[in-house]
Chains A and B, each alone.
Chain A
């Protein structure tokens, strides 16, 4: 079956690779390129642990073919930080203990980054609704919601927007 030469820009780095038609974006990122932010949690499009930003949109990378993403810009949780300085969303997850085993965290952080872009001051209900596509099996979500509330406050205080940090075309 067909192979495809594709180019992805991942966390600011241009990557060229060959994928099969059936290679899922999450496997291209993890297995071929070594970006371990997106986690493989369910592969049935339910859990959201594999969430990345694809040209600015939060997507489940287990439900996108790598070849579909040819020419696109991908941001993983690893690309949110500015060097060794964590992104305010990452810091808030750390400080509010918005994680337990941590497996779902990269996906949560990436979804939160779009959520806060669309609504910089969400109430707890809006945060919960926004997290519908991300499943956590440990925390009961309380601290995750706390973390996103805190991140919203921190971002508003610092004048930072997630858009500037994440990059990508939001249109």
Chain B
């Protein structure tokens, strides 16, 4: 049933954490009051205003030093992205555009200027909205998430982090602190999105991470947002791509199978777009994302036949 907007959130307590340890302690202290972690607030506060969620306590982690920014990315060093890094920062990161463009492009597609200025990658992944852009991008980028609790850190792959029913594997006393992304000189990617006209989230978004060596696809990861309750790996397309020549023709042929393993009756559906339509969109959007990724591969000095390209681009 659709809830009536309440506009101003019901009462709650607010505390600001000064460090990760402080945040974990506050989660423990307030365990009986349904504490919720507040980062950028752009998923949480709208939900609180419409009565979707009513935490007893908000634990604001947004001022914690050291959980912000993009590090690494040079000389094949993996990226380390602080959980409080905003979408705007991700979308403006030259290093990400160069070595993990799927993440930068997905961040660029989030909401609008104001939302990107406040929303954070950590908040977005933990919220795990089925139509959000970054969860699919994190899966395609083969991200590893670092989760902290009193006992220390554990890591979980983005693939395993998102449950099939829209939940995550984050525990009640845990904090997502860091997102780690592998970095390879030969890995390129892209995110292609059909935006829901009302919500700004994805009707369908396809995230692609592609490794091309000597003109051959050696590794491919594709994940789609918007079609199910969690990011969907397009494994049929991945299997068709690996070992094939990185040509437009080859990529288009592989994209043709994008909807092969999905049942329209299992897909998300609303008055704007049926499950059948969303699945129908997978092929063209997979093809668009793959085409852009291929263009970026060529821009990096590769050609479809493995020889050096004459034309290079900045991106």
Contact = CB atoms under 8 A, between A and B. Distances in A.
Interface of A: 1-2, 4, 20-22, 24, 27, 43-45, 48, 51, 57-60, 63-65, 67-68, 111, 114-115, 130, 132-134
Residue from A4, A45, A48, A59 whose CB has the most chain B CB atoms within 10 Å:
A45
A51 B13 CA distance: 25
A63 B118 contact: yes
B41 interface: yes
Given A4-B14, A133-B115, 9 more contacts: A2-B14, A21-B11, A21-B13, A58-B113, A58-B114, A65-B38, A114-B113, A132-B113, A133-B113
Q: Is the interface of A mostly helix, strand, loop or mixed?
A: mixed
Contacts of B5: 43-44
Given A58-B117, A68-B60, A132-B112, A21 B14 contact: yes
A71 B112 CA distance: 25
B115 A45 contact: yes
Contacts of A43: 5, 7-8, 49
A2 B13 contact: yes
Nearest to A111: B113
Contacts, number: 78
Nearest to B116: A133
B85 to A, nearest CB: 14
Contacts of B14: 2, 4, 21, 65, 67
A59 B114 contact: yes
B115 to A, nearest CB: 6
A60 B11 CA distance: 21
B100 to A, nearest CB: 22
B41 A64 contact: yes
Interface in B103-118: 111-115, 117-118
Contact of A59 (B10, B11, B118): B118
B114 A21 contact: no
B42 interface: yes
B46 A63 contact: yes
Contacts of A24: 8
Given A21-B12, A21-B58, A64 B118 contact: yes
B8 A60 contact: no
Contacts of A130: 113
Nearest to A56: B117
Given A45-B42, A63-B42, A65-B41, A22 B12 contact: yes
A30 B13 CA distance: 23
A59 B117 contact: yes
Nearest to B48: A22
Contacts of B41: 63-65, 68
B117 A57 contact: yes
Contact of A44 (B46, B60, B115): B46
Q: Which 8 A-B pairs have the closest CB atoms?
A: A133-B112, A21-B14, A132-B112, A57-B117, A1-B11, A133-B114, A22-B9, A43-B7
A60 B118 CA distance: 9
Nearest to B199: A46
A134 B111 CA distance: 11
B157 interface: no
B144 interface: no
17 contacts: A21-B11, A43-B5, A43-B8, A43-B49, A44-B50, A45-B45, A58-B114, A59-B117, A63-B41, A64-B41, A64-B118, A67-B14, A111-B114, A114-B113, A115-B113, A133-B111, A133-B114
Contacts of A22: 8-12
Interface string B84-125: 000010000000000000000000000111110110000000
Contacts of B80: none
Residue from A22, A111, A130 whose CB has the most chain B CB atoms within 10 Å:
A22
